[in-house]
Structure 1
Amino acid sequence: MKEFKHENILHKRHFDLQFSIRFEVVDDVNFYSPFHWHNHIEILYVLEGKIDFTVEQRKYLLTDGDMIIINSELIHSSKLCGHARYILLQVPLSAFEGVYDEIENVLLKEKPESGEAEKLFSYLSLMLKSVDDQRQENKIKFISLLYDFFYQLLTSYKVEQKKAGTLSYYGINRISPVMAYVEKEFRNKISLSDVAEILNVTPEHMCRLFKKYTDMTFNEYLMSLRISAFYQMLQNTNQKISVILEECGITNYKVFIREFKKTFGKTPEVIRSEMQGS
């Protein structure tokens, strides 16, 4: 069965490596990334602004100079609080094949302290300079800095070892077909019976499994996908709000607005009005 990868990592092939990474400075406003997971280690360093970040049930408000390290196979989401600039590095576990084969069993410190984040940022800053400089020798410099950065993480920020076959890893792979199906079909009406059939269990058991392994209900996950799609369309199209609601599979307007306001603090009408006035 195909393993689900909810977030499609944008491959930034700066050099012809045997693996693909995403490494860039992101400048955006009010971007919302719903709950997802991937087989990458993700590092985010805030240059400017505020970001609400959730890793499983742990919540963080990241501000200037803060860093977060998301270990692979952990469900997480993020929301920019207005305008924010940040460095984003996503490296697949395959980057360590034959170099550090135990990487799959490692947990890195999730929220470095201020001084620690500043030290790690210095590596990211040098890596950015190497990327910007297209001289051939800087390919070697970049790769050297990348692995040196992870050497620092693995020697100073490793908090514990994951046990092979941990509950989290098993659970994510257990329900990944359901998440893949919902990601594809969330704009349509989704029956719990149809989703449960994917796992060959009852609807009630499917809901229990989903809650157990994701720390959220099935309906919360479905709503997060619809909110994200709705918000992107609200910003990028001139369609009527009622049309966007329909295209995103939203039928219960009151419930949706309540959850939308929890996420963004405002109604869609207010957000669109502010966009048109800017």
Structure 2
Amino acid sequence: MEKINYEQIRTSVVTKVRFCTLTNKGRYVPNHWHRAIELVYLLEGELLVSVENNSRILHLGECMLINANVIHSNKAISFNKYILLQIPLDFIENFISNIQQIKFVVNDGQESELKQQKINKIKAFLRKMKELDDKREENFLLYFNCLLFELLCLIQRNFSEKVYQIDVSQKQQDLVKLNEVLDYVAKNYIRAIPLDEIAQVAGFQVKYFCRFF
């Protein structure tokens, strides 16, 4: 069984998100998850992206949104170049209070004409953000954040779906516990953390904690 890794998002101290342009050939990023929504926009080549049990090949000019706390992986099936934007939930919660009850559904190339126009606008925002990030001219942060918040508003208004409340209740409780554990690990990662110690942080017995985590 393949190991599933938790990714600690390395955000910029300036923008509070992770924004970069990646190039690779034949690289495989195994199954992992993180507490951030992720946007991938392909500028060159092809990229195989697997989200839970579904896989899709992204081609030149296509984009994909991956929700937070979802297991996913990707593999370069040819040389490729893509924009990557990761926005942590902790950041989004400052502006969208019910973000834990929302999932975003963006199906590039499979939407109605009106929604596809909105997706094309997402891509335009990402291209402009890349241009700003590449140049880093005066007032970079002001213009970058303007685009970031416009992008968030766009996906929240047009691509958000409510998660069933019955599912949210249990998931919310699990995420609260999980966040406490991850925060503790982030603050103490420079030393070995005994299993019984981290189980106590979550308020579980060791055996149950292992199953939970």
Q: Name the TM-score, length of structure 1 as normaliser.
A: 0.56
Q: Which residue of 1 aligns with 2:77?
A: 81
Name the CA distance, whole Å, in 1 between partners of 2:173 and 2:105.
18
Q: Could you tell me whether the CA contact under 8 Å between 1:25 and 1:87 is conserved in 2?
A: yes
One-letter code of the match for 1:134?
A: R
Q: Which residue of 2 aligns with 1:142?
A: 144
Q: Which residue of 1 aligns with 2:51?
A: 55
Using the TM superposition, give the Cα deviation of residue 26 of structure 1 relative to its aligned residue in structure 2, in angstroms.
Answer: 0.6
Q: Could you tell me whether the CA contact under 8 Å between 1:40 and 1:92 is conserved in 2?
A: yes
Q: Which residue of 2 aligns with 1:23?
A: 19
Structure 1, gaps ≥5 residues long: 181-196, 211-278
Name the CA distance, whole Å, in 2 between partners of 1:119 and 1:89.
15
Structure 2, gaps ≥5 residues long: 111-115, 186-204
- Correspondence list, 1:1-278, <5 A: 6-13=6-13, 15=14, 17=15, 20-113=16-109, 115=116, 116-161=118-163, 163=165, 164-166=168-170, 170=174, 173=178, 198-200=206-208
Name the CA distance, whole Å, in 2 between partners of 1:42 and 1:201.
28
Residue 31 to residue 198, structure 1, CA distance change in 2 (3 Å)? farther
Could you say what secondary structure the match of 2:155 adopts? helix
One-letter code of the match for 1:58?
A: N
User: What is the count of residue pairs matched by the alignment?
Assistant: 179
Q: Could you tell me whether the CA contact under 8 Å between 2:26 and 2:75 is conserved in 1?
A: yes
Higher helix share: 1
Could you say what secondary structure the match of 2:136 adopts? coil
One-letter code of the match for 1:100?
A: I
Q: Which stretch shifts more, 130-139 or 72-81? A: 130-139
- After superposition, the C-alpha distances for 1:119-177 in whole angstroms (9 at most, x for unaligned) are 2110011111222333332211110100100100000111333532355984995xx99
Could you say what secondary structure the match of 1:101 adopts? coil
> Matched residues, percent identical?
24
Residue 199 to residue 70, structure 1, CA distance change in 2 (3 Å)? farther
Could you say what secondary structure the match of 1:34 adopts? strand
Higher strand share: 2
One-letter code of the match for 2:28?
A: Y
Could you say what secondary structure the match of 1:165 adopts? helix
Residue 133 to residue 170, structure 1, CA distance change in 2 (3 Å)? same
